[in-house]
Amino acid sequence: LATPPPASIRKLDDSVINKIAAGEIIIQPANALKEMLENSIDARASSIEILVKDGGMKLLQITDNGHGINREDLPLLCERFATSKLAKFEDLESIMTYGFRGEALASISHISRLSVVTKTADSQLAYKAHYYNGQLASPNFKSTTANVEPKPIAGKDGTQIIVEDLFYNIPSRLKALRSKSEEFSKILDVIGRYAVHSEGVGFNCKKFGESYQILSTRPNLPLKERIRVVFGTSIANDLLDIALDGDETKEEGESAKEKYGLIKVKGAITSSSYDNKKKIQPVFFINNRLVACDPLKRAITSVFQYFLPKGSHPFIYLSLEIDPQNVDVNIHPTKREVRFLHEDEIIELVVDKVHLVLSNVDKSRKFKTQT
Ligand code: ADP
Ligand code: MG
Strands 316-322 and 113-119: unpaired
Which residues, 6 or more positions from 193, have their beta carbon under 8 angstroms from its beta carbon?
Answer: 230, 283, 290
pLDDT value at residue 303: 95
Cβ–ligand 1 contact at 77 (below 6 Å) = yes
Give the chain's length: 371
Q: How far apart are CA 265 and CA 280, in angstroms?
A: 20
Per-residue pLDDT, 368 = 58
61 CB within 6 A, ligand 1 = no
- Percent of the chain residues topping a pLDDT of 90: 79
Work out which ligand 1 atom sits closest to the CA atom of 86: 4
Candidates 44, 55, 114; CA nearest to 79 is: 114
Tell me the C-alpha to C-alpha distance, in Å, between residue 33 and each of 99, 226, 253: 13, 20, 45
- Region of 138 (left: φ > 0; alpha: ψ -120 to 50; beta: rest) is beta
Q: Note whether 82 and 109 are within 8 A (CB).
A: no
Rounded to whole angstroms, how far apart are CA atoms 71 and 150? 8
Q: Is the CB of 83 under 6 A from ligand 1?
A: yes
Mutate to test the pocket of ligand 1, among 18, 36, 39 (most ligand atoms within 8 A of CB): 39
Residues 5, 39: Cα–Cα separation, whole Å: 48
Q: Is 8 a residue whose pLDDT tops 50?
A: yes
The residue-averaged pLDDT of 1-27 equals 90
The pLDDT of residue 363: 74
Distance from residue 210's CA to the centre of ligand 2 (Å)? 28
Numbered ranges of CATH 3.30.230.10 in the chain = 233-370
Q: Which of 174-178, 296-300, 347-351 has the lowest mean pLDDT?
A: 174-178
For ligand 1, what atom is nearest to the CA of residue 78?
A: 6
User: Nearest ligand to the C-alpha of residue 104?
Assistant: 1
- 186-197 average pLDDT score: 98
pLDDT at 10: 94
- Which H helix or E strand runs over 226? helix 223-231
Q: Are 103 and 42 in contact (CB under 8 A)?
A: no
CB 66 less than 6 A from any atom of ligand 1 = yes
The band of 365, judged by pLDDT with boundaries at 50, 70 and 90, is low
| ipTM for the assembly | 0.99
If one looks up domain 14-221 in CATH, what number appears? 3.30.565.10
203 C-beta neighbours (distance < 10 Å), count: 26
Which ligand is closest in space to the CA of residue 43? Answer: 1
Quick: pLDDT tens for 97-107. 888 888 999 99
Burial readout 240-271 (b: 16 or more C-beta within 10 A, e: otherwise): bebebebeebeeeeeebbebbbbbbbbbbbbb
Start-end of CATH 3.30.565.10 domains in the chain = 14-221
User: Ligand 1 centre and the CA of 62: distance in Å?
Assistant: 13
For residue 77, the ligand closest to its alpha carbon is: 1
Task: Give the pLDDT of residue 370.
Answer: 53
Ligand 2: distance of its center to the CA of 78 in Å?
11
Looking at all shown ligands, the one closest to residue 159's CA atom is: 1
On the question of pLDDT at 43 being above 80, the answer is: yes
Lowest mean pLDDT among 151-165, 296-310, 353-367: 353-367
User: Rounded CA gap, 79 and 131, in Å?
Assistant: 10
pLDDT score for 2: 86
* Beta-bridge partners for 137: 130
Through-space distance between the first and last CA atoms of the chain, rounded to whole angstroms: 88
Q: Take atom 19 of ligand 1 and give the residue whose Cα is closest.
A: 39
Q: Which of 105, 108, 119 is the pocket-test mutation for ligand 1 (most atoms within 8 Å of CB)?
A: 105
Q: Are 237 and 276 in contact (CB under 8 A)?
A: no
Ligand 1: centre distance to CA 116 (Å): 11
Cα(123) to ligand 2 centroid in Å equals 23
39 SS3 class: helix
Contacting residues for 209 by C-beta, under 8 A, at least 6 apart: 53
- What pLDDT sits at residue 280? 93
Architecture of the domain made up of 233-370: 2-Layer Sandwich (3.30)
Structure confidence by residue, pLDDT tens digits, 244-284 = 999 999 888 899 999 999 999 999 999 988 878 889 999 99
Please report the pLDDT score of residue 371 as a whole number.
Answer: 46
Residue 102 CA, closest ligand 1 atom number: 8
Q: Across the chain, how many H-helices and E-strands are there?
A: 10, 18
pTM for this predicted structure: 0.93
CB neighbour list of residue 236: distance below 8 Å, 6 or more residues apart:
224, 225, 227, 228
In this structure, what DSSP letter does residue 178 have?
Answer: -
Q: How confident is the model at residue 369 (pLDDT cuts 50, 70, 90)?
A: low
